[in-house]
Chain A
Amino acid sequence: MSWLSPAKMTTGSGTAKSRHPLSNFNLKTPGPRRPRLNSRRISFSFPSFPSRIMSVDYQASFVGHPPGTSYPKLNFVEDSKVVLGDSKEGAFAYVHHLTLYDLEARGFVRPFCVAYISTDENKIMQQFQELSDDFSKASECLKTGNRKAFANELEKKLQDLEYTRNVLHNETEIQKKSNDKGYYSSVAIEKANELANVEKCIIEHQDLLMQIRNYSYKKTRDVDYFSYEPDNGTEHSDSGLEQLQNRDELCEKNNFSDRSYIPKFTKAKSAKCFEKKLKTLEELCDSYFFNQTLEQLRQVEKFFRGDVCYLLTSQIEKVLLQQQQTTSFLFEDPLLFTGEEQTEKEQHCEKLLPSFNIISAKVFEHPFLSNESTNCESYKSCVESVPIKLDQQISVENHHGTMADSIPCKNPLGTSDYLELEGKEKGSISSGESIEVLGTEKSCPAPMLLSKSDNQPNSQSQHLEVVRRKFVGTKRTNSEDSIEVLSTTESLIPEDLKPIYPNAIHEEEPPLEDEEIVMSTGLVQPDANLNHANRFSNANFENKTITLSVLSEPVDPSCCIGKESPHFTKSVPTFVTEEYSDEVVNVPPQRSKTIGQIFHSDYQQKDDGGGLHNTADQVFSACEKEYSDLPGNEETAQIPVDEYLDNMSYISASLCSDRTPSPALPTSPSKRPSGKRKKHSGKNSLWFIRQYSFAQQAIFSLLSGRTLVVVGEQEGKVKKLVNALSIFVPNYGRDADSVKQWITFPLHIDDLQTWKLIGLQRIASPLGTSMLHSLNRYSRYISILDCDNKTLRCPQYKGQLITRLADHRTQIKRGSTYYMHVHNMLTQLCSQAFLYTFCHHLHLPIDERESEESVTYRRVNFLKHHLGLMNDDSKIVQYFSELIKMHYLHEPPKGLNPVLRFNYIPSVVFKI
């Protein structure tokens, strides 16, 4: 997918129905720019696709002088929405055409289009309604700004004309006075004509102004019209006010400038259009609205990241989660429900869900290449406009990851077996989004991939070659399509493309030219970051390459496959990347390199020694051991290898499924709990359950609502444990945060009410003793994990559930996978708790005569036989149920701590 981003609002030449003008222009382009165009837009054998996008019907709407009227009439037309595709090139686009008013344009109308380009046709088709809604909103915003600017322009023009008229009038008067001959000189006649012209012009412009004002007024009353503005408000709730103020200031300034505007003398017959420089989009639109539009489009882009599968799944997930508000507070991301963006989008989801496969009829109604008869003048003006615009468009776009995009078009189909392999490996649809190496996009869900690889390590432990061959035959339905080719790029870049790749990167290096910067102000920052990310990922690739070239061939492939999927999936790209790595990467980031080296050395050793069975598991545990033995304060040093890999995958975007915006994008809210955090916790918990034999006991404490206190001397160590355990802590759902990473003061009883997981400092001082005394005092309510002595004091767990949840011999190797696994089981528990909570007869007698005992019996029976929960497992569900009840009843009242529920159960001390 690629995205003609906000700044790339292209001035489609409305009349440029053929590629001709574009190519013409192309030839005219100043030297330095041409190669860039070529190198960057390789994905489309330039300029066919972009020009097609622009040439598609924009519903040419200008009508100079409609019959019956003597004045020009403004047409207020609806936008047109079109889907077009080029399967040969593997590009599909949703194109949104709109018209803006420009006083200097013919018919006062300038056509523009915004396009959403993806390699996946389905994505565009299935998300059509959404896309169209979002784009309409943005377009409406832009048009409003444009009307405002247009009205301003008209006013200025009117002033000019008035002034001109006065001047002319004076001149005519002078002429008249000086005329003693009794006949008018040709000069005088000319002047009179001019005056008449000007007057006509004035009337015309006044009429236009009235039209635009009336329209604005009419629109303002329209409810729909305003719908986008509140959205803006919510999206930027914090900055909204400010913006409004700015806007007011701006308006004032405008007014002021209006007042102080010094009219110029204008010639009635102005210069030909093509002699003039066309206004840029920014000039055409009120800046407030312009920026709003850009912001909206950015949001849209963000929202549509990911392949169809991911998008649909996440949309369904969100809708489903919304229906589960009774229980979802327990373990789901609370921000999922509070985020404005989310809620906004959820509305869309609802709209969209029922119509997954509906392709709007509109799409077909619109002729792809409908066109108006072209007028030479406008034609020219458009052509004139293109050079700058298109160039800008492309150069900016480039930053957004067209680089990889660019490869497939020259990609011979020969790579398709790689693709197949890749697809199979993933166990899911591989997406064309790999293009987004630069970080603009995430691709297919990692969990699927991982769970698959986890479940069938054997099937994967075949020789790489075999696997490859094996899957060659399995063709996908649409594998002939170039989409498929595109989708492979993430992992496989054929050798014959390698000169292009670095080239593309180099192309980004030259500093942007002034006008470009002006045009893409909003985007300069992200671009730079993306650039960076790109380099980083490449650096990683390089590192990986080294390893694998050492290990890969005869024995190791099985190892590669069998061990950890990230290794494998990442190992694939290296075949390619290694070859250009030296070209691309000059200085790889230092940190990653060192960690990489650690990893490599470890890995090699293990591999040499143990052969096939030395899987990454051991490597990891070895590494982790190493890290866990390090002094706890060095957080960075503690990042074990798979975390590092996670990071890598994150950057290279091959597996990441989370919705977190790329870190490179400055617009992304920084405080959002990221998938990275989840992964980190998941990985830590994985480490915890492997390292600590009493992990299950500790987890049971958390799941049954007993506060767990992690005591230790070193903050880093304690925090790591807290982090590892935090994924098992149910939320209270309200403002209370139930995890406290690190405290240095004695615990109080009310702390136990709010915090369910606490990291506590152990210090050898009077304060430290009093802290321990307080622990001793409340030992009934808490479980204590001593991370210095590796002991745990808590009630003994008797049950099966947590054995499955936290098996120290688990095959799961990746943090994010383990997180998913835990999440999955917890969700299951939540649904059981939901059932348990809302079964009427389990809690209340069916009739009056029934005794309390029989209800209790029924309850116990339900837990045991219907939910299959034995012993302590039912306590977990009961605790969840209690939380659900409190949540539903809005207990406790705001500002109060939740009640502390506990049991009188003796504790046992566990040691490793």
Chain B
Amino acid sequence: MLRWLLGGRDVQEPVEKSLVLCLGDDQPKNPYTELQVLKGHSDIVRFMVWIDDIRFASAGDDGVVFLWNVQTGERLHELRGHSRPITGIALIPSTYHLQSESCHLLTASSDKTVIIWDLDTGSQIHLLAEFQSSVKCLMVIERLDVWLSGADKICVWNYNAELLCKTTCFKDADVSLMIELPKTNIAAVIRKELVIFKLVTSSESHTWEITEMRRLSNHEDDIRALITINDYTFATGSHVGELIIWDALEWTVKAFESQFWNAAPQSDKPAEIKISRTAYQHETCIHHLSSDGENIFAAIGTGIYVYNLQTKTVIAYQQVAHDSRVLHIAKLPNNQLVSCSVDGSVRLWELQELPPAEPATSGIFSMWGIGRPNKQQNQMVKRKLECSMLKTLELTGDLIGHSGAVQMFLYSKDHGIVTCSTDHLIIFWKDGERESQLRSKALFQQLEQDDV
């Protein structure tokens, strides 16, 4: 296509392209046939969060938070208050036992402030500026009506922005990730370490206390991903590709997988693999993890992997799922797996049972093996497939629209996918058929109204 466009001029296409899965324009399983571009941001859009069924907020490096109507694409509010990029965002759901019934939004910025916004009016409620370093992460614990900010220390606040308690200062690094564990425990990531805190409240004196319970240093490199899987397990992923499944109550390691996708080849010819890997420096970095309770979906380097918790094996994977690093991955309720990447594309995958009768699994084999000179590796993969692969990831569609890295996406059953990107844009991807139906419905409603 490009060559055709260039009209025979000599333009070298990047060699790597041939490695990547190519899906033509014929995508019958791709329902997203309508897109709408939202413009507003003037820098990278990094965060998006649902507010309710029809609203979501987006924030990014321009320090502005926009509120959008997902049905029409209208911009509802423009929240300006931060002077530096936004580093964290969290939603305080509407709370009925408080006076206010509207949602509040927390935003943290590298200007060392946190702002609480009223989303119905778009106004600033509280501005917290007493931070020594910029807040990297925010977490709301709904059942306790408190929220936590993670910077060089963890602070606990109530909804009225009153400081309840805080930890001591971490000397070496800041808290980058936090999740809530059972029994009012909190897991926080400080570089390589996972620190467990306990939040204690005494109902009599209304005092709060946060104490460090344990430091877990099982990772060899910085922890990049931290997710809750269910009430009893959570998982972490590190920069060098270590995946650890933890017991949420005991804080013990349930499973440790280091370069688990290479387990089989490693024993055979580790050296060659390393050579072949040099082209992808970030290949082993776990950028994002998500889970549906049964499986963990990991975005590792340019590939995506499905790890089954029960069998503790990778049941399906796509080593070169994108041209570049995969930044976000999630399984949608409609069983679609969606991944987005620095290459600007969003891809839709379908997890399919491997038909037992078909031995070769030529699809996958040929797909990711294209252009690889190493026959050995192909064989290795083949062996690996034979032993451990149970399912395949089939590419069912890709969404092309962004011209920069797609940072993350949101999904809603009613409105499809929303993606945000480095190119300052937010794009709605909607099911064209469905939208058409909805429009027809709206049309006839309108007609009825007009008649009356």
Give bound CA distance, A905 to B28, whole Å: 9
Q: Is the CB of A888 within 8 A of B443?
A: yes
Q: Is the CB of A777 within 8 A of B36?
A: no
Give bound CA distance, A61 to B351, whole Å: 96
Give bound CA distance, A616 to B216, whole Å: 90
B54 contacts chain A at the CB level, 8 A cutoff: no
Q: Is the CB of B442 within 8 A of A844?
A: no
Interface of B is mostly: mixed
B430 neighbours in A (Cβ, 8 Å)? 899
Give bound CA distance, A786 to B73, whole Å: 34
B6 neighbours in A (Cβ, 8 Å)? 769, 772
Stretch at the interface among A340-348, A415-423, A745-753: A745-753
Q: Is the CB of B25 within 8 A of A840?
A: no
Within 5-43 of B, Cβ neighbours of A (below 8 Å) are at 5-7, 9, 11, 24-28, 30, 33-37, 39
Q: A893: which of B28, B74, B447 is its contact (CB, 8 Å)?
A: B74
Q: Is the CB of B440 within 8 A of A749?
A: no
Q: Is the CB of A749 within 8 A of B403?
A: yes
B401 neighbours in A (Cβ, 8 Å)? 749, 778
Q: Is the CB of A788 within 8 A of B7?
A: yes
Q: Is the CB of B5 within 8 A of A776?
A: yes
A380 contacts chain B at the CB level, 8 A cutoff: no
Q: A779: which of B1, B30, B34, B402 is its contact (CB, 8 Å)?
A: B1
How far in angstroms is the closest Cβ of chain A from B340?
15
B379 contacts chain A at the CB level, 8 A cutoff: no
A791 contacts chain B at the CB level, 8 A cutoff: yes
A775 contacts chain B at the CB level, 8 A cutoff: yes
Q: Is the CB of B425 within 8 A of A889?
A: no
Interface string of A659-675 (1 = CB under 8 A from B): 00000000000000000
Q: Is the CB of B72 within 8 A of A891?
A: yes
How far in angstroms is the closest Cβ of chain A from B8?
9
A906 neighbours in B (Cβ, 8 Å)? 24-26
Give bound CA distance, A905 to B432, whole Å: 14
Q: Is the CB of A901 within 8 A of B432?
A: yes
Give bound CA distance, A786 to B2, whole Å: 13
B441 contacts chain A at the CB level, 8 A cutoff: yes
B352 contacts chain A at the CB level, 8 A cutoff: no
Nearest CB to that of B29 among chain A residues?
A: A904
Nearest CB to that of B26 among chain A residues?
A: A906
A775 neighbours in B (Cβ, 8 Å)? 5
B446 contacts chain A at the CB level, 8 A cutoff: yes
Q: Is the CB of B439 within 8 A of A889?
A: yes
Give bound CA distance, A774 to B35, whole Å: 17
How far in angstroms is the closest Cβ of chain B from A828?
22
Give bound CA distance, A519 to B437, whole Å: 65
B259 contacts chain A at the CB level, 8 A cutoff: no
B444 neighbours in A (Cβ, 8 Å)? 840, 843-844
Give bound CA distance, A899 to B70, whole Å: 13
A773 contacts chain B at the CB level, 8 A cutoff: yes
Interface of A is mostly: mixed
How far in angstroms is the closest Cβ of chain B from A499?
64
B63 contacts chain A at the CB level, 8 A cutoff: no
A756 contacts chain B at the CB level, 8 A cutoff: no
A592 contacts chain B at the CB level, 8 A cutoff: no
A312 neighbours in B (Cβ, 8 Å)? none
Instruction: State the interface size on chain B (CB cutoff 8 A).
Output: 45
How far in angstroms is the closest Cβ of chain A from B344?
8
A567 contacts chain B at the CB level, 8 A cutoff: no
A462 contacts chain B at the CB level, 8 A cutoff: no
A837 neighbours in B (Cβ, 8 Å)? 440, 443
Q: Is the CB of A901 within 8 A of B34?
A: yes
Q: Is the CB of A888 within 8 A of B446?
A: yes
Give bound CA distance, A681 to B71, whole Å: 38
B24 neighbours in A (Cβ, 8 Å)? 906
B366 contacts chain A at the CB level, 8 A cutoff: no
A257 contacts chain B at the CB level, 8 A cutoff: no
Q: Is the CB of A904 within 8 A of B397?
A: yes
- The total number of A-B Cβ pairs within 8 Å is 119
B98 contacts chain A at the CB level, 8 A cutoff: no
B39 neighbours in A (Cβ, 8 Å)? 750
B436 contacts chain A at the CB level, 8 A cutoff: yes
Tell whether A789 pairs with B441 under 8 Å between CB atoms, given A773-B2, A896-B73.
no
B9 neighbours in A (Cβ, 8 Å)? 764
Q: Is the CB of A892 within 8 A of B72?
A: yes
Within 783-799 of A, Cβ neighbours of B (below 8 Å) are at 784, 786, 788-789, 791, 793
How far in angstroms is the closest Cβ of chain B from A144?
41
Q: A748: which of B1, B74, B403, B446 is its contact (CB, 8 Å)?
A: B403
Q: Is the CB of B425 within 8 A of A750?
A: yes
B96 contacts chain A at the CB level, 8 A cutoff: no
How far in angstroms is the closest Cβ of chain A from B38?
8
Nearest CB to that of B27 among chain A residues?
A: A904
Residue of B4, B5, B443 most packed against chain A (CB within 10 A): B5
B442 neighbours in A (Cβ, 8 Å)? 885, 889
Q: Is the CB of A749 within 8 A of B36?
A: no
Give bound CA distance, A899 to B432, whole Å: 10
A882 neighbours in B (Cβ, 8 Å)? 436, 439
B400 contacts chain A at the CB level, 8 A cutoff: yes
B346 neighbours in A (Cβ, 8 Å)? none
Within 190-210 of B, Cβ neighbours of A (below 8 Å) are at none
Q: Is the CB of B400 within 8 A of A780?
A: yes
B137 contacts chain A at the CB level, 8 A cutoff: no
Residue of A750, A769, A904 most packed against chain B (CB within 10 A): A904
Interface string of B405-434 (1 = CB under 8 A from A): 000000000000000000001011010100
Give bound CA distance, A749 to B346, whole Å: 15
Give bound CA distance, A885 to B444, whole Å: 10
Give bound CA distance, A885 to B439, whole Å: 7
Give bound CA distance, A497 to B341, whole Å: 83
How far in angstroms is the closest Cβ of chain B from A67?
63
Tell whether A793 pairs with B30 under 8 Å between CB atoms, given A780-B400, A882-B439, A886-B439.
no
Give bound CA distance, A422 to B4, whole Å: 54
Give bound CA distance, A476 to B212, whole Å: 108
Tell whether A749 pairs with B37 under 8 Å between CB atoms, given A844-B441, A885-B440.
yes
Within 234-258 of B, Cβ neighbours of A (below 8 Å) are at none
B447 neighbours in A (Cβ, 8 Å)? 838
Give bound CA distance, A778 to B447, whole Å: 37
Q: B25: which of A764, A791, A907 is its contact (CB, 8 Å)?
A: A907
Give bound CA distance, A772 to B428, whole Å: 25
Give bound CA distance, A892 to B35, whole Å: 12
A902 contacts chain B at the CB level, 8 A cutoff: yes
A189 contacts chain B at the CB level, 8 A cutoff: no
How far in angstroms is the closest Cβ of chain B from A399?
51
A786 neighbours in B (Cβ, 8 Å)? 5, 7
B439 neighbours in A (Cβ, 8 Å)? 882, 885-886, 889, 891
Residue of B37, B73, B428 most packed against chain A (CB within 10 A): B37
How far in angstroms is the closest Cβ of chain A from B330?
22
How far in angstroms is the closest Cβ of chain B from A175?
86
How far in angstroms is the closest Cβ of chain A from B228?
35
Give bound CA distance, A254 to B435, whole Å: 65
Interface string of A572-605 (1 = CB under 8 A from B): 0000000000000000000000000000000000
How far in angstroms is the closest Cβ of chain B from A201?
67
User: A896-B73, A899-B34 known; 11 other A-B pairs, CB under 8 Å?
Assistant: A711-B5, A789-B7, A837-B440, A838-B443, A885-B436, A889-B439, A891-B439, A900-B36, A902-B432, A906-B25, A906-B26
**30 CB-based A-B contacts, threshold 8 Å:** A749-B401, A749-B402, A749-B425, A750-B425, A753-B37, A764-B9, A772-B2, A772-B5, A773-B2, A776-B5, A777-B403, A793-B4, A837-B443, A843-B440, A844-B444, A889-B446, A896-B74, A899-B34, A899-B73, A899-B435, A900-B37, A901-B33, A902-B33, A902-B432, A903-B33, A904-B25, A904-B27, A904-B28, A904-B33, A907-B25
Chain B interface residues (CB < 8 Å from chain A): 1-2, 4-7, 9, 11, 24-28, 30, 33-37, 39, 72-74, 344, 397, 400-403, 425, 427-428, 430, 432, 435-437, 439-444, 446-447
* 4 nearest CB pairs, A to B: A843-B440, A904-B27, A750-B37, A885-B439
